[in-house]
Amino acid sequence: MRAHCFAFIFICSTFHLYAQEIKEVRVDSKIENITVFLSNAQITRSALTSVSSGQTKVILEGLSPNIDNQSIQVSAKGKAVIMGIKHQYNYLQKTKFSQKVKILRDSVAYYSEAYNLNNDKIEVLQGEQTLLKKNLSIGGTQNGVSVDELKKMTDFYSTKLTGIKKELRRISKEQVEIQKSLEAVRQQLGELNAIRDKRTSEIEITFSATSSERIGLEVKYLVNNCGWYPTYDIRAVDTKSPIELDYKAFVFQNSGIDWKDVKLTLSTINPTYNGSLPELSTSYVNLYVPPTYNKRAKQQAVQAPVLQDYAEEELVLEAEADEWGGFDDDWGDAETAASYTSAVKSTLATNFVISIPYDIPSDGNEKLVEIANENIEANFVHHAIPQLDPDAYLIANITNWEQYNLLPGTMNIYFSGTFVGSSELATDNLTDTLSLSLGTDKNVVINRKSLGEYNEKKAIGANKKESKGFEITIRNTKTEDITLFVKDNVPVSKDSRVEVTLEESKGASYNANTGILEWKMDLKPSETKTLKFSYAIKYPKNDQIIIQQY
């Protein structure tokens, strides 16, 4: 019996000692850098702590609930071994109030107090009104009152009751406006509270050490519900100066944690895309078999995207290291028990490192971030298609535009200090020239008209011939030379029985496959030029033709 008791006590003691060996340390971490991708973002955090001899669980708390588990990477400085990494949710710790939430709460309190105060005023005024109505009886049943006294009392009650009713109407209107404002603030506060009341998460890192050690941590992970997209301001002063390109980004995040005073890096990579080269499978052909009524749904497996690490960054812990006297290089890198993620260096991304810290609250709203400002040399020309539009368009042609790392996005275009419109920047251009439309130029006057002497129909044997002619007049009313490209077209036959012949097109290049005519000309100030072209269509005389624009 004593042997069994001794064994039980020994096992309990051993378990107790083992339990004592695994200590738990909760630490706060600091955001060092955030790399925002087109979708999702990589957070880099640092922390400084110490571990005891044996095993210690270091828990980084207060993190976003939207962490991608597979993306977590941990590196450390210090003489300890990383035994394991675990990500878990914390339902007890909620996200902290943001400044916006505090302001909205104050607004709710303000409007609520104003509403209640007005209710008190209404109650007092209604009481006065009731009291006045009860005291309208002047004098008594036995004693009368003089005419003067009656007039004075009547005037008093009339003035007093009118004032009360007017004040009640004013307060009632004010209550309606206060109620609207209160509901709007409460609705906005409800949305932000829904974000704030979400759970947080934490990363648990288990260390093993032979003695007490100081540890410097760097943790990287991806969070979703965030990203960025580009926008541009294009400014041209005149046609002789370079174009000014303001490259900006709308950054948004709803990760559950506010980003305060953070260093941002914007990357053109989208880590949610599968970066693996697809495989081309064999195609088979077979006879078609009509389907039967017994159909079975086929399930297709979806391959998860490959997560990648896009940067190798140095651990920055100088501020926290002050209390330790700094880190020494002889600490060496901590060993890892297993490989938790695959680190792949990519040369496919353009990273924009923003030197100014930003505050990006976790509310899903867009924050405008400046990326770059470029002065770009451009060649300015005019283009016109008078068949569709009588105006000439000013076009800026930019060569070697790839060096500016542009992405598809919206452009706000300004010329001579005036907003001329918005356009979409398409960067899927396979040429080395990017053309930007800067709007119409009313100083180039264009007129297109049909020439009557060319328009005729006549029979030629079994066929009919129909001729058409047009004249385009261009005048440059600007005080500077311009280069103008003018386009028009003639029909293209899709039937062997219909024959189209270009009869006149002096000075134009002609594409017989598309029917496009194009003239290039230089016009001096106040110069006028005239273009003419004509064509004939021959077809069977018993048939009719129709010209369609595709």
The reply to whether 283 falls in a domain is: no
Angle at 347 between CA 343 and CA 351, to 5 degrees: 95
| Angle, in degrees to the nearest 10, between helices 147-196 and 99-134 | 160
**Of 196, 230, 263, the domain-final residue:** 196
* CATH number, domain with residue 498: 2.60.40
Indicate whether 229 and 316 sit together in one domain.
yes
3-state secondary structure of 96: coil
Amino acid identity at 362: S
Question: How far is the C-alpha of 88 from the C-alpha of 13, rounded, in Å?
Answer: 30
Q: Which helix (H) or strand (E) holds 537?
A: strand 528-540
In a domain, 494, yes or no: yes
> Could you tell me which residues are beta bridge partners of residue 460?
463
Together in a domain, 532 and 459:
yes
Is 119 part of any domain?
Answer: yes
58 vs 135: CA distance, rounded Å: 79
CA nearest to 506, candidates 490, 491, 517: 517
Q: Give the type of residue at 521.
A: M
Domain presence at residue 267: yes
pLDDT of residue 132: 73
Q: Using alpha carbons, select from 496, 529, 533, 497 the residue that is nearest to residue 516.
A: 533
Domain range for 169 is 99-138+150-196
Same domain, 176 and 233: no
| Residue 423 within any structural domain of the chain | no
Do 232 and 175 fall within a single domain? no
Residue 122 and residue 173 share a domain: yes
Query: Do 251 and 320 fall within a single domain?
Result: yes
Q: How far apart are CA 469 and CA 486, in angstroms?
A: 16
pLDDT digit string (tens) for the chain, length 550 residues: 444 444 444 444 444 444 456 888 999 899 999 999 999 999 999 999 999 899 999 999 889 989 998 899 999 888 888 899 999 887 665 555 556 767 877 888 888 888 888 888 888 888 777 877 776 655 444 455 566 766 777 777 778 788 888 888 888 888 888 888 888 888 777 766 555 556 788 999 999 988 998 999 999 999 998 999 999 998 988 888 899 988 889 999 988 888 999 988 888 887 776 656 667 766 555 545 555 544 433 333 333 333 333 333 333 333 344 444 444 555 555 443 223 222 223 456 788 888 888 999 888 889 998 888 888 899 999 999 999 999 999 998 888 887 777 888 888 988 888 888 888 877 766 567 888 888 889 999 999 999 887 777 888 878 888 889 999 999 999 999 999 999 999 999 888 888 999 999 999 999 998 899 999 999 999 999 999 999 999 988 888 877 776 5
133 and 62 in a common domain: no
> SS3 string of 163-229?
HHHHHHHHHHHHHHHHHHHHHHHHHHHHHHHHHHCCEEEEEEEEEEECCCEEEEEEEEEEEEEEEEE
**Region for residue 323 given its phi and psi (left: phi exceeds 0; alpha: psi -120 to 50; beta: otherwise):** alpha
Q: What's the confidence (pLDDT) of residue 97?
A: 55
Judge if 35 and 85 occupy the same domain. yes
Residue 355 lies in a domain: yes
Domain boundary among 317, 333, 360: 360
How many domains does one find in the chain? 3
Which pLDDT value is given to residue 509? 94
Buried b (16+ CB within 10 A) or exposed e, 364-401: eeebebebeeeebebebbbbbbbeeeebbbbbbebeeb
Residues 335 and 209 reside in one and the same domain: yes
Same-domain check for residues 118 and 76: no
CB 196 within 8 A of CB 101: yes
Select from 334, 360, 386 the last residue of a domain. 360
Query: Which amino acid belongs to residue 446?
Result: I
In a domain, 429, yes or no: no
Helix, strand, coil percent values for the chain (each to nearest 5): 20, 40, 35
270 and 252 part of one domain: yes
263 lies in a domain?
A: yes
Task: Please tell me the predicted confidence (pLDDT) of residue 472.
Answer: 96
Note whether 456 and 337 are same-domain residues: no
Stated pTM of the model: 0.60
